[in-house]
Amino acid sequence: MSQKLQYIDWGLIDYKDAWEKQKVLFDALIEQKTHVGARHAPHLQQQFIVCEHPHVYTLGKSGQINNLLINDEFLKKINASYYHIERGGDITYHGPGQLVGYPILDLEQHNLSLKKYIFCLENAIIRTLSDYQIESSRIDGATGVWLDADGKTPRKICAIGVRASRSVTMHGFAFNVNTDLSYFSHINPCGFRDKGVTSLSKELQKPVDINDVKQQVFTHFQVII
């Protein structure tokens, strides 16, 4: 476990503001990593950022715009915004009640490949769901965390989309806790047309304290990496 992983909670923050703040931290870590020797690199500050966003749709660099099923006028009507960004993955939704995580890490200091890092993110969510007696897993070829993955009603509860440069990460995961799932009806989530979405509160049939979930995910993630 890294002693240099700082937990930061930005609360409810506009997506563009969070994106810009992320990039400052991301660029700073790359800059520091470039100018210090390997001997000092383990002492660089790394962040595990959590937050929530107002309603917004984001499309990854390899995503298809036709997976957004509404036009600009309708976006305004539902009080949502849209951004095409540099992370991996297709289209997803962020909104109040959804736990969004932005770990800014130097993967080399954790001996992680990008693939293994994504596996760690998924594991942290899977273990958190297990805390609530909810069984979850992965689907081959579909990054993220799913319920009933091999059953008749596969549904995604956490999306993952990451960018890495010089082994430094940004973007991360979006875990549906108390999310208004109706907003997913306006997209093909992560490019899938034949699978559903769900939330922790929907599965438990009651609201969940998102601050508790934030701490649980962070705790599990620290142990895993």
Residue 99 phi, psi (nearest 5): -85, 115
CA distances from 114 to 68, 169, 179, 222 (A): 27, 9, 28, 17
pTM for this one? 0.91
pLDDT value of residue 190? 52
Annotated active-site residue in 51, 120, 158, 190: 190
C-alpha 168: how far from chain center:
16
Q: 174 and 99 in contact (C-beta within 8 Å)?
A: yes
**Cα dihedral sign, 196-123-6-36:** negative
- CA atoms of 9 and 77, how far apart (whole Å): 29
What number of residues does the chain have?
A: 225
* Rounded Cα distance, 72 and 51, in Å: 25
H or E stretch covering 67: none
- Catalytic residue list contains 120: no
pLDDT tens across the length of the chain (225 residues): 444 799 999 999 999 999 999 999 999 999 998 887 555 556 688 999 999 999 999 888 877 888 888 888 999 999 999 998 888 777 889 999 999 999 999 999 999 999 999 999 999 999 999 999 999 999 988 889 999 999 999 999 999 989 999 999 999 999 999 999 999 989 876 545 557 899 999 999 999 999 999 999 999 999 999
